[in-house]
Structure 1
Amino acid sequence: MVEGGADGTGGLGSGVQRAQAFLVLATLLYRASHLLVGVAAVARHQAGRPVSWAVLATALGCSVLVHGAARRRGWFDRRAVVLDVLVTGCALPFAAYAWADTRDAPSIAWVMLLGGSSSAVAAIALRRWAALVSVLAVGAAHLVGYGMADAQVAVTVGHLNAVASSAAIALVFWWYLRRQGRLLDAATAQAVRAEAESARYAERIAHHRALHDTVLATLTAIAQGNVDANSSGVRDRCAREADYLRRLVQQSDEEAEGDPAPGRLGAGAALEDAVRDAEDLGLRVTTRYHALPALPSDVATGFGDAVREALNNVLRHAGTGRAYLTATGDDGHLLVTVVDRGAGFGPERAAATSGLGLRRSVHARMRDIGGAAEVDSAPGEGTCVTLRWPG
């Protein structure tokens, strides 16, 4: 199984996953070097022995099975590793001795060499006792094989040392790289938490300032008797600020479910900026938010600009002072509708009038961020602008 998980590293995987990928590549290169030695030995000294080529092909097949599966999965399949140990590490030396006429140490050495890469993979891919048994089995098979080939003691000891050293070095590398990967993952998680906390703090400050400049200022003026609380202007302002407070509560509920990853922004913040700009121009906007996702920064900015232009069109052309905005998210997707009950227009007017801002400011902005916009309108029946991301 691949260890680690998503960590916001832009597709590179966690530190542990990258350590695993490195070990898969390193052991693949190690096995490839042994296979090249085998190809050179067979081609030069045993080219007329079909069994030698069959032994080499079997070792190549086991290598493709083990390392091909590891490249696909991100880590080794234990069953494939055990098969490689039994076939490449233990059985092939005896097959070469019995049927390929490799009866002396020099001629059988290339088969024995494959045991080093076999034991290296077993040491890091199998559980502790299974790895130990596998390395001992390879060592025992090669001890017997060199004994049958009447190898000198120095040659046998040197080869057994290579088998054990390959396993030990691979195991040390795996321990070190996995440890460094976990430290990297911990540091990344801490940085993400710190950035999220900083973003939450900045957002709280922004909300506090907005509340100070709007709701608190209005309440203070009414409490001090500086304005007529029953005047239409004060009532309109109170209604707009009540809408703002409701949106603020909705955003807080949504954002409590999770923090945006680095390089992403909450969709609610971008939409709120557009709504506040429209309200500053006198438009009353009723909003409903649900399950808003975190978006890439450029997407959030482009979405907010498109919504702002849709609301501006209500102000300029709809003949009404009220709009309704609904935003919902689903599995990273975002759907926003901006509806008014104003004058509306026919399709021929939308095609002929660039001043509506739909073609240039709404459709173009959504296309730029990989989204889509649709407009549904009819004279006297208002307008509905639908924005989707992805398109």
Structure 2
Amino acid sequence: MTGRWWSPSSPLTPRPRLTIPPSGGRPGATEDGLRRLGRRYAVLVRTAVLVCAGGAALFQATPDRRSLVGVVVVGLGAWSVVYARFGTRGWLLLADTSVIMLLCLTQRWTVPPDALGDSTNWVLAVAAITAVAHQWLTSAAQGALLTTAIVAAHLTGNVLASSDPPAGSVPLGLWTFAEAGLSRVLYLLVRAGARQADLAVARNEQARRDAAVAAARRADEREHLAVLHDTAASTLLAVGSGMVDGTEPWLADQAARDLEILAVRPDLGGGDADLVRLLHQVARQAPIAVELCSPPVVPMPSFRATAISAAVREALTNVARHAGVESAELTVRRNGGWTVVEVADRGRGFAPEQVPEHRRGLSHSIGQRMARVGGRAVVTSRPAGGARVSLEVPDD
């Protein structure tokens, strides 16, 4: 009967990049993004209203003033192009306010007398939307100052346009302050919501970072136990079980290598390594004869090559301990985007499903090691039919 042990397999997960949550008065990513988006839309809305108001101006103008109004509208259209392109820049706010104030002062020639004191005044519409849009582009004090300047220019233009200004001029002008105030409140609410979102993201990031640190600590503990199992524990067990009598020439070298590995753990960082070279070293140091069949060179990331060589060393030690044979076969091959390393023996074999859970150290330790580097391991065996340990890692 043939059985298999499949190890846990999961893609290699890099250690998370830690980000610093927003602190102090600096905006976070969400707040900063919403502020930029709000400013862009404020500029676009102001430009759209100005274009519509220009059309209303041509419709309202008397025949003798239509040419003059047309020139003003064309000039405002040209300015709108500049404003829409660069409107979020600070220096343009003063220039834009000056243009709108100048427009307010020309109401004597650009607005019909009967429209000066009511809501059909197209200049008032432009002035009001400008005051509203500026609240998204300035601080509260700057917004209040620019709004005051625009309203003052509008009321002054009404006075210059008529010796007897309409009664509705002042209320309509002052209503612009209310519109600007509502715009400021909306801006503050949006910014506060974005800041809360940033704080929530920061809290989640902190929780993720704490979980990642805890997972890294557990992984380090598992790696330490795996290294201990593959080195000193295996050597001591071989001596204690009588598999060796202490006179073998390789035993002292093996013990020295075990101590070296425990004292200085291998570098599992970046760079590539030749898997075949590492496996040659493992084969030479194995307690049994090993027949290695592989390509001349198999380059791969060093952390994967190191993990595979350690797993092969453990598998060969297990063959020497349990299989009842003095040799094993070690093969390396490519298979559909994967590198496959197999350790096979013709020993006594076993039935995997009948092995107690506490005796499955080989499959668990090798499987977990391969899973940590994005690979997988399979142990296949049957009674009197030998055993095969397959280690697979992706080529990418």
Q: Same fold (TM over 0.5)?
A: yes
Match of 1:382 in 2: none
> Contact 1:55–1:95 (CA<8 Å) still a contact in 2?
no
Aligned mates of 1:151, 1:186 — CA distance in 2: 52
- Counterparts in 2 of 1:360 and 1:46: CA distance versus 1, 3 Å: farther
Shift of 1:360: 5.2
Shift of 1:84: 0.9
> Contact 2:61–2:111 (CA<8 Å) still a contact in 1?
no
Aligned length in residues: 269
Match of 2:265 in 1: 245
Match of 2:83 in 1: 66
Aligned mates of 2:230, 2:75 — CA distance in 1: 82
Q: Is residue 170 of structure 1 aligned with residue 190 of structure 2?
A: no
Aligned mates of 1:122, 1:34 — CA distance in 2: 14
Match of 2:166 in 1: 152
Show the 5 A alignment for 1:54-203. Answer: 54-70=71-87, 76-88=88-100, 90-98=101-109, 100=110, 102-106=112-116, 109-147=121-159, 148-149=161-162, 150-153=164-167, 155-203=168-216
> Contact 1:105–1:151 (CA<8 Å) still a contact in 2?
no
> Contact 1:28–1:67 (CA<8 Å) still a contact in 2?
yes
> Contact 1:6–1:13 (CA<8 Å) still a contact in 2?
no
Q: Is residue 213 of structure 1 aligned with residue 226 of structure 2?
A: yes
> Contact 1:31–1:63 (CA<8 Å) still a contact in 2?
yes
Kindly indicate which of the two structures has a greater share of residues assigned to helix.
Answer: 1
Aligned-pair RMSD on alpha carbons? 4.5
- Counterparts in 2 of 1:357 and 1:28: CA distance versus 1, 3 Å: same
> Contact 2:107–2:157 (CA<8 Å) still a contact in 1?
no
Letter in 2 for 1:123: Q
Equivalent of residue 32 in structure 1, options 35, 39, 48: 48
Shift of 1:220: 4.4
TM-score normalised to the size of structure 1?
A: 0.55
TM-score normalised to the size of structure 2?
A: 0.54
- Counterparts in 2 of 1:42 and 1:6: CA distance versus 1, 3 Å: farther
Aligned mates of 1:244, 1:33 — CA distance in 2: 71
Shift of 1:189: 2.0
Equivalent of residue 53 in structure 1, options 67, 70, 87: 70
Aligned mates of 1:129, 1:319 — CA distance in 2: 71
Shift of 1:110: 0.5
Letter in 2 for 1:162: W
> Contact 2:54–2:122 (CA<8 Å) still a contact in 1?
yes
User: Identity, % of aligned pairs?
Assistant: 17
Match of 1:349 in 2: none
Alignment gaps of 5+ in structure 1: 71-75, 252-267, 286-313, 328-335, 337-354, 363-387
Higher relative contact order (CA 8 A, sep 6+): 2
Match of 1:318 in 2: 296
Q: Computing the radius of gyration over CA atoms, which structure comes out larger, 1 or 2?
A: 2
Alignment gaps of 5+ in structure 2: 1-18, 22-27, 283-291, 306-331, 340-394
Shift of 1:196: 2.6
- Counterparts in 2 of 1:40 and 1:207: CA distance versus 1, 3 Å: same
Letter in 1 for 2:103: L
Q: What are the superposed Cα offsets for residues 312-360 of structure 1, whole Å, 9 maximum, x if unpaired?
A: xx9721289xx78569xxxxxxxx9xxxxxxxxxxxxxxxxxx974995
Shift of 1:180: 1.4
- Counterparts in 2 of 1:223 and 1:134: CA distance versus 1, 3 Å: same
Aligned mates of 1:165, 1:211 — CA distance in 2: 69
SS of the equivalent of 1:246 reads: coil
> Contact 2:136–2:184 (CA<8 Å) still a contact in 1?
yes
Aligned mates of 1:161, 1:143 — CA distance in 2: 9
> Contact 1:143–1:156 (CA<8 Å) still a contact in 2?
yes
> Contact 2:131–2:150 (CA<8 Å) still a contact in 1?
yes
Q: What are the superposed Cα offsets for residues 260-289 of structure 1, whole Å, 9 maximum, x if unpaired?
A: xxxxxxxx6xx99x99xx69x94669xxxx
